[in-house]
Amino acid sequence: MNIAKKLILFLLPISACTHAQEQNKNNQKMSTSFEINKSEEEWRKILSDEEYYILREKGTERPYTGKLLNNKEEGLYSCAACGNELFNSDSKFDSHCGWPSFYAEKAKGKITYVKDTSHGMIRTEIMCSKCGGHLGHVFDDGPEPTGLRYCVNSVSIKFTPIKK
């Protein structure tokens, strides 16, 4: 097989995956409206580069690098973009997946669930219901009482400790 054919066979899956991810992003932006609607330029002004990449471009931080992964303090986890209260610390658990994990959202309606077909997988993306920021994904392999594992990027959330 010549070098050109090998290169095409190598790049084709990468191109298809990138196209699927971009198509998925476009579908989600068109199909969901949120209480807070800012332009991408406005988001760029208020978010750090890393926050923008994860919250607005649906990126992912490297596993085991997030500052909130091993946080054991009591408190509240909110959306880093808009402050929407998402998770209580009592629902946080160590799932050994490399990202902060929770088994329940703080209250029904805090999180929007969207089918994610990027990267050749079928998953459920979780987004802040107030601003549409990408938080991570939810899986059905968590502990009781819900059986869910909300796998969240540390960059997409802020922690506020309970004042005693």
- Give the predicted TM-score (pTM) of the model: 0.79
What distance, in Å, lies between the first and last C-alpha atoms of the chain?
A: 69
* 77/63 Cα distance (integer angstroms): 19
Rg (CA), the chain: 17
pLDDT of residue 21: 41
pLDDT of residue 153: 98
Q: CB of 89 within 8 A of CB of 73? A: yes
Query: What is the average per-residue pLDDT within 79-95?
Result: 97
Q: Which CATH superfamily is domain 3-161 in?
A: Peptide methionine sulfoxide reductase. (2.170.150.20)
* 81/94 Cα distance (integer angstroms): 24
pLDDT tens for each residue of 32-53: 588 999 999 999 999 999 999 9
Instruction: Indicate which residue of 79, 128, 131, 151 is catalytic.
Output: 151
Based on the residue annotation, tell me whether 97 is a catalytic residue of this protein: no
pLDDT band, very low/low/confident/very high, at 1 (cuts 50, 70, 90): low
Can you give the residue ranges of every domain in the chain? 3-161
For residue 112, the SS3 value is: strand
Q: Are strands 75-79 and 85-88 parallel, antiparallel or unpaired?
A: antiparallel
Q: What DSSP assignment string belongs to 119-159?
A: GG--EEEEEETTT--EEEEEES---TTT--EEEE-GGGEEE
* 129/74 Cα distance (integer angstroms): 23
pLDDT of residue 31: 42
